[in-house]
Structure 1
Amino acid sequence: MISSKEELNNYIKADREALDMKHPFLASLTFGEHARIRNYLTTLRYTEYYSQKSGLIGKILYGIHNLNLRRKSLKYGIYIAPNSIGKGLNLPHPGFIRVGFNVKIGTNCTILPMVLFGKAHPTDNMRIIIGDNCYFGVGSSVIGSNIKIGSNVTVAAGAVVTKDIPDNVIVAGIPAKIIKYKV
């Protein structure tokens, strides 16, 4: 939850550093994919900041940023629920990404396209908690209820996580199994 302007600026700075853009102005002029991701993440962070504000002006600004976020979600195919991801998020490429409201992801995580965090059944009361410094490969999914993924976990491309994963491992397969422990 972003509660102050200073914290908002720290989140935006960490997200931009994670993208590692060499020439952000040039990328925006040439419609580069990183410029779109940077723009989306900045809008996400402003929506998170204004969701905590009370008063008429705060509600109006939240509404404006939330509508802008929804528009960009449809345009870019990325849906990340506000207040669900820590700072330092890295989205290397645009593409379908779905992070719902009942998902909490730690700091400095990397998510590639075609990644889904979701329910196994529509009536599930799910909660997915993911630690810091995690990496989700292309086409990976985390599906189920009450799943906890530890810190420093790599989820291989195409893997489907349905159960808890401990810290410092690499998982792959359908369903995902530990294939290697990180030292």
Structure 2
Amino acid sequence: MDSGARWGADDGGRTTVHDLSAHLWRERELLDLLTFKLEEEQLLLSAGRARWLSHATREVEQVLERLRIAGLERATAAAAVAHDWGLPPDATLRDLAAGATDGPWAELLSAHLTAMTDQAAAIRQLRDANAQFLRAASRSTQETLATTDPAPTTYDAHGRSATSGDAHLFDHSF
């Protein structure tokens, strides 16, 4: 294999390591956006602003879908680079970084891996914190509902609230 193919020179439309790096940058940008959306969701939860929570959750889901697509594109680019470098097609980013023996690619791919690992850890923490907020809100709602008077009330002939035992239903059709 010539060094032009190895280092990403224009090779007639084939995916290069430059393309892979561009995919990795795009995925990192989406991970940043996901972090922002989860923090936004957390702010709404902590402020008790349930009105906008469905919008924030929908935006998180949209970013997750974009990330899924970006991940597939990155995996395809990584498989092509792995093939060019004589690595197995299912080589991980760590494997690619280790397989880039000369030039700046080992360091660059390792930096992408480190940054994405750190972003994933931050996202997990936000996800867990948001889930904890939701559990607390659900528990609070259940406790509030448990303390309300379970006996249904009706109104008597004078418009006062009466328990169902005091109310009477009369059939005036006779």
User: Which has the greater radius of gyration?
Assistant: 2
The structure with the largest helix share of the pair is 2
- Structure having greater relative contact order (Cα 8 Å, sep ≥ 6): 2
Would the TM-score normalized by the shorter structure come out above 0.5?
A: no
The structure with the largest strand share of the pair is 1
TM category, shorter: under 0.3
Q: TM-score, normalised by structure 1?
A: 0.27
